[in-house]
Amino acid sequence: MMDGVRVELEGAVALITLDRPAKRNALERAMVEGLAKACRDIEHSAARVAILTGAGDKSFSAGGDIAAWSADTPEEFGRFWVREGHLVFDALARLRQPLIAVLNGDCLGGGLELAACADYRIAERHARFGQPETGLGIIPGWSGTQRTVRRFGSQVVRRMALFGEVFDADTALGLGLVDRVCERGEGIAVARSVANELLNRSPQATELTKMLINAAEGEERERVLDAIAGQLAAGSRDLAKGLEAFRNKKKPEF
């Protein structure tokens, strides 16, 4: 348990819960830092799939806590709130494990940007989706005009971010914002069922395929190329010969 973020490992499934229901799971600085630590821990755990949800049944996340970021100076806002927030959201989107988001209520602003990091989104029927930032005089800052456009399409994002449209779960399904709709309170059970299907697939092939899809989206192209090439080289006979020669202080014969 970290401030506002709870992480539980259930066998091969990691469950991340935004745990600030009294504030509609709005993200404050400690929660952003907690998500960063959760990503590091899960990345190095035995988990093969991760589930992200919010505590309670009213809101997945209402986005960034206005009281938290509005008190920052412009320099602090840009340096921590935007830049550090980006690093955390990037880490979620680039987890080696597939990430399933259970959207168990309102998914607004930064909450929608958080949901966009997931590989699969399950919405409970009472959830709502929107990007209200411009109505406050601010922009969608956590890749709300970048990753969201890549994953949802530019026109859908225009409707939310420029014109303030808010979509219900069924409309969100038709627009491709979510992959599945279920009844209130059923999201976690549905996510566990989806996770179990993933666990029947090759873990290495799944990890590599996720990386390649991310690269096709422009999510992490350079890192993907380095990682896949590195894995290939690490398993080669050439490396074994090179390491043996190094240990014996000899010139390798490839």
- CA-CA-CA-CA torsion sign (15, 19, 25, 26): negative
* Whether 133 is catalytic: yes
Alpha-carbon distance of 6 to 38, in angstroms, equals 8
pLDDT one-digit tens code per residue, 186-224: 999 999 999 999 999 999 999 999 999 999 988 777 777
Asked if pLDDT for residue 248 goes beyond 70, the answer is yes
The whole-number pLDDT of residue 108 equals 95
- Please provide the DSSP assignment of 224-248 as one string: HHHHHHHHHHHTSHHHHHHHHHHHT
The whole-number pLDDT of residue 168 equals 98
The whole-number pLDDT of residue 159 equals 97
The whole-number pLDDT of residue 82 equals 77
The whole-number pLDDT of residue 37 equals 95
The catalytic residue among 43, 75, 84, 113 is 113
22-35 burial code (b ≥16 CB/10 A, e <16): ebbbbbbbebbbbb
Average pLDDT over residues 162-168: 97
Nearest Cα neighbor of 194 from 179, 175, 212, 204 is 179
Asked if pLDDT for residue 249 goes beyond 70, the answer is yes
Alpha-carbon distance of 77 to 96, in angstroms, equals 29
* Whether 113 is catalytic: yes
Alpha-carbon distance of 37 to 250, in angstroms, equals 43
Give the model's confidence band at 179: pLDDT under 50 very low, under 70 low, under 90 confident, else very high. very high
Average pLDDT over residues 7-22: 96
Task: Tell whether pTM > 0.75.
Answer: yes
Asked if pLDDT for residue 71 goes beyond 90, the answer is no
Domain limits, the chain: 5-199, 203-247
Percentage with pLDDT > 90 across the chain: 66
DSSP character at residue 136? G
Alpha-carbon distance of 122 to 203, in angstroms, equals 22
Asked if pLDDT for residue 58 goes beyond 80, the answer is yes
pLDDT one-digit tens code per residue, 89-147: 999 999 999 999 999 999 999 999 999 999 999 999 999 999 999 998 888 888 889 99
Give the model's confidence band at 1: pLDDT under 50 very low, under 70 low, under 90 confident, else very high. low
CATH number of the structural domain 5-199:
3.90.226.10
The catalytic residue among 28, 76, 133, 253 is 133
